[in-house]
Amino acid sequence: MSKVKVSFSVSIDGFGAAPQQSLENPMGVGGEALGEWVFATRTFQRMHGRDWTFQRTPKDGGTTGVDDDFFARNFLNVGAWIFGRNMFGPVRGPWRDNSWKGPWGDSPPFRGPVFVLTHYPRESIPMQGGTTFHFMTDGIHRALEGATAAANGKDVCIGGGVATVQQYLRAGLIDELSLAISPVLLGSGERLLGDIDLVKLGYTCTEHVAGQRATHVVLVRHATY
């Protein structure tokens, strides 16, 4: 069955983003440390090299193993994505023009429909490589309905950021939350779980695997109603 899933990196002290997010520091100042386990993986290095085939060959750079497996899993069987406006870029308020197309270049790695939450309507943007950005102005539930229909039986992945994940968690709409706990301290920023009670929401930890640069835990929601 298709599911709604999230993969997110958090610091030891629970932050999913560092303070002072900007175009230069999309994860906040110092926040890139959260992703170090990602950057080292073969899957990421292939994506960075703009080779979206995800085939692994012995000559590839980057690490294989647990971290690589978990990062690759993010992209497996995903039929559609949902991003918060913050994640799509630092632009705020009404779209002044159509020049901003996200921070991922002409050929983003999503290779399918990406639903961007925003208060301001905008025409969809088809990109190279199969990614199309759609702008959803009717709230998180309508965005999920659109993404689920577009995913056509595959999974929907909520890509972030923190505020968007929190909204979907509180609404009880996320089936599986895969957290990578990075061995860093951020001290301040956006706490991913904040005051969210995952037990009351019906989650339990079903996997706990140590990678080389992060510890991966998978939290699955069992229907509580």
How far lies 177's CA from each of 37, 50, 169, 170, in Å?
18, 27, 9, 13
129 near its own copies, judged by CB under 8 A:
no
Ordered DSSP codes for 178-196? EEEEES----SSEESSTT-
Please classify residue 154 by burial: count the beta carbons closer than 10 Å to its beta carbon, then call 0-12 exposed, 13-18 middle and 19+ buried: middle
Q: Which is nearer to its own copies, 147 or 186 (CB)?
A: 186
Q: Which of 124, 128, 137, 188 binds its own copies (CB under 8 A)?
A: 188
Q: Which stretch binds its own copies (CB under 8 A): 74-82, 118-126, 142-150, 202-210?
A: 202-210
Compute the distance between CA of residue 37 and CA of residue 58 in angstroms, rounded to an integer. 20
One-letter identity of residue 41: T
Q: Which is nearer to its own copies, 17 or 143 (CB)?
A: 17
Q: Which of 2, 14, 32, 154 binds its own copies (CB under 8 A)?
A: 14
Q: Which of 145, 187, 223, 224 binds its own copies (CB under 8 A)?
A: 187
Query: Are the CB atoms for 27 and 55 separated by under 8 Å?
Result: no
197 near its own copies, judged by CB under 8 A:
yes
Q: How far is the CB of 70 from its own copies (least distance, A)?
A: 14
165 near its own copies, judged by CB under 8 A:
no
Chain Cα centroid distance, residue 141: 18
Near its own copies in 65-124, by CB under 8 A: none
